[in-house]
Structure 1
Amino acid sequence: MLQDPTNQYIATILSHCDIRGKDVLEIGCGKGRITRDLAKYARRVVAVDPDACAIDYARTSFYANNVLFMQALKGVPDSSIGNFDIVIYTLSLHHVPETEMSKSLLSAAALLGKDGTIVVIEPGDGGSFTEAKERFGAGSGDERPAREAAIRNMLEMNGWTMGETIAFRTQFRFDDDDDFLSSMLPNYPQQPESFVNDVRRFLEQHRTADGIILEADRRLNVLRPSEYVNSHD
């Protein structure tokens, strides 16, 4: 599987938040796919994830002098790693339990310097990849309730203002059916044959000369301190 082959994440981030020369904390870095793009522009990137296996993979697959990968069991690291100019949630806020979302955002805000910024990238509603998640339970499955909870918590964040929603679309490229099944539905051998055949028929609709290409809508929101927003109105 190749995620975001056309680099839409970094293009959208750069269009709406200047990370050049900044200290960036990435929350939910996973295996570091977006981290490597952030590192090209930021002064420093601390990339954290609660998944130890993902962090180990990221460390062994990508190295840069300005990047530090860390496991953060609670999602947001403690203040001992210093302050940042920007915090970026990389498709991670909706994975935080709803009762902890507000706390996570406020903990992230506490790691920012003056006029710091929080960027939240979340799944959108459309796209063939999103359909596969909701229809077949691929990957992390149907995330609609969690996505809605993430939006509510951003809107209700005390002392912070959420900017407009920036919509964009990214791709997932799979070599063939087996690549999709092993990556997104690892338990498919235990599924009924009819289910697997339904998945294969779905994938056939998205087969190209470059493999199977599925698309996913994404949304980006920039959160700033309300006093900063009011002073710049």
Structure 2
Amino acid sequence: MIQDQERKTLAMLLRHAAFEQARVLEIGCGGGRVTAMYEPIPALTVGLEPDETAAGDASRILRKTHVLCGSGMDAPFADASFDIVLFTLSLHHHPDSDHALAEACRLLRPGGRIMVLEPCAESEIQRLCNIFENENHRLERALGTLAGRKDHCIATEHFETDWTFKDFEDVADYAFGYYGVKDNESQRRAMRDFLGQKGNDSPLGMRDTLRLNVLVP
């Protein structure tokens, strides 16, 4: 499976913040996929990831990023440590997204930016994932938090990235593996029903719709 081969996510990030020689904290870096796109550019990159397995994966693939296992709810850094704080598909996972944003503000240097990258509920990929875990209520909660800070939001962009799978089996392998669920016929059938005729394609392309909010304290 290939995600965002055209690196649209990177282009969007660079459009809205000066990564050159910056000190960047990425909250929810996962296995380091997005981090790897921009890693060569900043002076310092730190990845914060609550899942130990994902943090280990990121540590293995990233060359100059310091990866720590931890949460954006209580980041282990001094005030005014970073120029950019990036939430990568992670704000909605925080139990208190307003507190997570307040913590990001604490960590920012004067003139810094908070970048919040979130999946959109209408995304084709997100709707497929709902078969395994419906996150719509968490996405709505994070949206509400961002709406409450609209006076600090200087940009909002929606964009799409392409995911390319070899075939339906590749989709199934990804989904069952990502969610740690044993392969089963019920969810396979639900995925086939969702994909319709596309489920027979090889390669099989899907679209992920994302939203980027850029905030200043």
What's the TM-score once normalised by structure 2's chain length? Answer: 0.87
Q: CA deviation at 1:189?
A: 2.8
Asked if the contact 1:102/1:157 (under 8 Å) is kept, the reply is no
Q: CA deviation at 1:76?
A: 4.8
Q: Which has the larger radius of gyration?
A: 1
Q: CA deviation at 1:43?
A: 1.5
Asked if the contact 2:72/2:94 (under 8 Å) is kept, the reply is no
Alignment of 1:70-85 (within 5 A): 70-73=68-71, 76-80=74-78, 83-85=81-83
Match of 1:180 in 2: 171
Deviations 1:178-203 (A, max 9, x none): 221122134353343xx523423526
Q: CA deviation at 1:173?
A: 2.0
Q: CA deviation at 1:63?
A: 1.4
Asked if the contact 2:27/2:47 (under 8 Å) is kept, the reply is yes
Match of 2:128 in 1: 132
Q: CA deviation at 1:40?
A: 2.4
Query: Comparing 35-44 with 114-123, which one deviates more in the overlay?
Result: 35-44
Match of 2:46 in 1: 46
Alignment of 1:67-146 (within 5 A): 67-73=65-71, 76-80=74-78, 83-97=81-95, 100-134=96-130, 136-137=131-132, 141-146=133-138
Amino acid corresponding to residue 120 of structure 2 in structure 1: G
State how far apart, in whole Å, the 2-side matches of 1:81 and 1:208 are: 51
Aligned to 1:47, the other structure's residue is in SS state: strand
Amino acid corresponding to residue 154 of structure 1 in structure 2: L
Amino acid corresponding to residue 88 of structure 2 in structure 1: T
Deviations 1:87-108 (A, max 9, x none): 00001001111xx211111111
Asked if the contact 2:82/2:108 (under 8 Å) is kept, the reply is yes
State how far apart, in whole Å, the 2-side matches of 1:120 and 1:42 are: 18
Match of 1:149 in 2: 141
Match of 1:8 in 2: 8
Alignment of 1:143-222 (within 5 A): 143-157=135-149, 161-186=152-177, 187=181, 189-192=183-186, 195-200=187-192, 202=195, 204-205=197-198, 211-222=203-214
What's the TM-score once normalised by structure 1's chain length? Answer: 0.82
Deviations 1:1-31 (A, max 9, x none): 3222221111111112221211110000000
C-alpha change, 1:74 and 1:109, in structure 2 (3 Å) is: closer
State how far apart, in whole Å, the 2-side matches of 1:2 and 1:104 are: 31
C-alpha change, 1:81 and 1:52, in structure 2 (3 Å) is: farther
Amino acid corresponding to residue 113 of structure 2 in structure 1: T
Asked if the contact 2:80/2:109 (under 8 Å) is kept, the reply is no
Match of 1:36 in 2: 36
Gaps of 5+ in 1: 226-233
Query: Comparing 172-181 with 9-18, which one deviates more in the overlay?
Result: 172-181
C-alpha change, 1:20 and 1:74, in structure 2 (3 Å) is: closer
| Count of residue correspondences | 213
Asked if the contact 1:27/1:75 (under 8 Å) is kept, the reply is no
